[in-house]
Each structure stands twice: as C-alpha cells, then as structure tokens.
C-alpha cells in the first residue's frame, strides 16, 4: 500500500508539472505573437519608406496582398484621439499622355494627440497605387523634391519606363510631406494638404473604342512621428493610418488614354510597310545619283 501511495504521489506531481509547462508555453506563445506584432510595427515605423518591406516579400504589387500587408503591420485605430480623415478630393489636370493627379487631403488631430506629438518630428505619408497603364518618372520626382515641394518621394514596384501597358505591372509612389505641430498649443487642429503628382501614360494595347481606361483608387494615408532623441536606443516612433469617420462618396478618377483600334491594325501595318519601302527605295536612288558624277571625274583625272 505504501508503494502504491508513493507511486500515486509521483504521478500526480508529474501531471501537475506537465500542465504547468503546457500552460506556461501557451502563455509564452501568446506573448511572443504580441511581441512579434509590436516589433514588426515598430520596425516598419523606422523604415525610410513604409512600402519597401512589402517588395522584399512580394515581387509585384497586388492590391489584396498590399492591403493585407497594411492590416497586419498597421491595424486601424478606433480611438478618437488618433487623426481622422475629413475630406479627400481628387482629379486629373491636363490633357494627352502627360497629366497631373491632383489630391487634396483634410484631416483632424484631437488635442490629446496634439499635446503628445508637439515635441516630435511628424510627417504625412501618401501612398499612391498606380495602375499598370501609367507610371511616374523617378527623375522628375527627384527634381520636385529638390524644389522643396515634397519632403521625400520614392517610386517602388515596376519602374521600367519603357514597357508598354500590357507588359508592365502596378507601381507605388510614396510621398512624404512635412507637418508642423509646434504652434498648435495643444488644441485640435485641421491639416490640409494639396499635391500634384505628374504621371505619364504607357503605350496601351489595341482596343475596340480607341481608348484605354485607367482607373485610380483611393490613396493610403499615414501619419508618422519620430522623437528627437540623438541616441538610437532612446528613439521612439508612432506610425498610424488616417482612417475616415464618414463614408467619402468619391467619384472614380478615370484617365482615357488614346489607343489603336483593332479593326485598323491591318491597314496601318500595310501603310507603314509601304512607307518604309518607298523611303528605302528613295534613299537608294539618291545615293546612286550622287555617286555617278564622282566616278566620272575620277576617270577624267586618270
């Protein structure tokens, strides 16, 4: 009986230890998942360009993957203390294959958040997801940054400027704008930004209507604030999305790019071939006429 009692005691202690280890391991897993999520968001905040880590994971821009990337790293904040989007207006300026996408953004920041961020270096980040039919010239945007219009800008994704529309992929333009909260005195402020992004149309594929339709979606808006500590260990960073409290009924921005008509393809090819052939024959005839007098003069000299 004594031996059985000792065995029962040992078995009970062993099961208690196993239960404690399993519960502690589950707690550790929960803590690890929360830590990994926080550290991922924190590391994203210190990236020079917020969208750069996405292209380390994916080769091309796909809207569903990109939205999942934002949801995973930057969940929407439901608290009223965070900035809220009030108005967003968008339209195209100019005509032809070179136009400008104009955007006006208005959002509010509550006093509680203003007082916390007034001593930080803050910026607004606008992420434009460009359709495959258009592109932004990085060299042109760099010139705009040098003029002081944007704080910083980067083009990521498909940056090959020579590809036609049917061979290209979507790209991203990440625009950084300065925001000064030092003069707000802890009161609610309304920030208004207006930007113009120069864009260029790619060569569209042949169609039936003579136009290729390019539709622009709504940009992603972010607020990032960095502390002013000199040491990297003491620095802190806040990165949050700017959601909307109201349903913004935005009309889609549509760019109709002139394109060739399929029914005219054979006629255009025939005319092009005939023009090239006539040009080649003309060049040969002119070359022969100019070479004859020169050969005659050489015979006289001999």
Kindly report, residue by residue over 186-223, the tens digit of the pLDDT. Answer: 577 888 999 999 999 998 888 777 888 999 989 999 99
Percentage of the chain exceeding pLDDT 70: 74
Taking CA atoms, 61 is separated from 139, 179, 253, 291, in Å, by: 21, 28, 20, 58
Query: What are the chain's domains?
Result: 52-258 (2.60.40)
Question: What is the overall mean pLDDT for the chain?
Answer: 79
pLDDT value at residue 77: 57
Size of the chain, expressed as the number of residues it contains: 302
- Please, which residues bridge with residue 21 across strands? none
pLDDT value at residue 230: 57
pLDDT value at residue 234: 61
| DSSP designation for 151 | S
pLDDT in tens, 130-189: 999 999 999 999 999 999 999 999 999 998 888 888 888 999 999 999 987 766 665 778
Non-local (6+) Cβ contacts of 103 within 8 A are: 88, 89, 90, 126, 194, 195, 196, 197, 219
Cα–Cα dist 7/85, whole Å: 68
Burial label, 111 (beta-carbon count in 10 A; 0-12, 13-18, 19+): middle
The pLDDT of residue 10 is above 60: no
pLDDT in tens, 35-59: 334 334 567 888 999 999 999 999 8
Going by their DSSP bridges, the two strands 98-109 and 84-93 should be labelled as antiparallel
Mean pLDDT of the region 8-36: 40
Lowest mean pLDDT among 29-33, 121-125, 126-130, 134-138: 29-33
CA torsion, ordered 264, 266, 268, 272, to nearest 10 deg: 180
pLDDT in tens, 60-92: 999 999 999 988 888 665 555 578 888 999 999
- Please, which residues bridge with residue 129 across strands? 172
């Amino acid at each position: 009986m004594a031996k059985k009692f000792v065995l029962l005691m040992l078995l009970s202690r062993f099961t208690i230890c196993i239960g404690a280890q399993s519960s502690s391991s589950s707690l550790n897993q929960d803590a690890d998942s929360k830590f990994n999520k926080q550290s991922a968001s924190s590391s994203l905040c210190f990236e020079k360009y917020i969208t750069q880590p996405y292209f380390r994971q994916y080769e091309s821009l796909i809207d569903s993957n990109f939205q999942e990337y934002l949801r995973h790293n930057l969940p929407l904040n439901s608290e009223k203390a965070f900035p809220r989007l009030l108005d967003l207006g968008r339209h195209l300026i100019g005509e032809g294959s070179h136009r400008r996408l104009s955007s006006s953004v208005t959002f509010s920041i509550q006093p509680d958040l203003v007082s916390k961020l007034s001593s930080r270096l803050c910026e607004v980040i606008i992420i434009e997801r460009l359709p495959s039919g258009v592109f932004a010239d990085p060299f042109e945007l760099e010139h705009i940054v040098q003029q002081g219009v944007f704080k910083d800008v980067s083009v990521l994704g498909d940056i090959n400027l020579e590809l036609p529309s049917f061979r290209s992929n979507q790209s991203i333009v990440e625009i950084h704008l300065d925001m000064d909260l030092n003069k707000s005195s802890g009161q609610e402020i309304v920030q208004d930004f207006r930007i113009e992004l120069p864009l260029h149309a790619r060569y569209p594929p042949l169609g039936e209507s003579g136009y290729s339709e390019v539709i622009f979606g709504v940009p992603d808006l972010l607020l990032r604030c960095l502390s002013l500590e000199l040491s990297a260990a003491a620095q802190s960073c806040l990165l949050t999305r700017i959601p909307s409290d109201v349903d913004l009924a935005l009309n889609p921005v549509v760019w109709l790019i002139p394109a060739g008509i399929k029914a005219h393809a054979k006629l255009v090819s025939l005319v092009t071939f005939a023009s090239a052939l006539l040009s080649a024959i003309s060049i040969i005839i002119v070359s022969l006429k100019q070479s004859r007098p020169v050969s005659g003069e050489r015979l006289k000299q001999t």
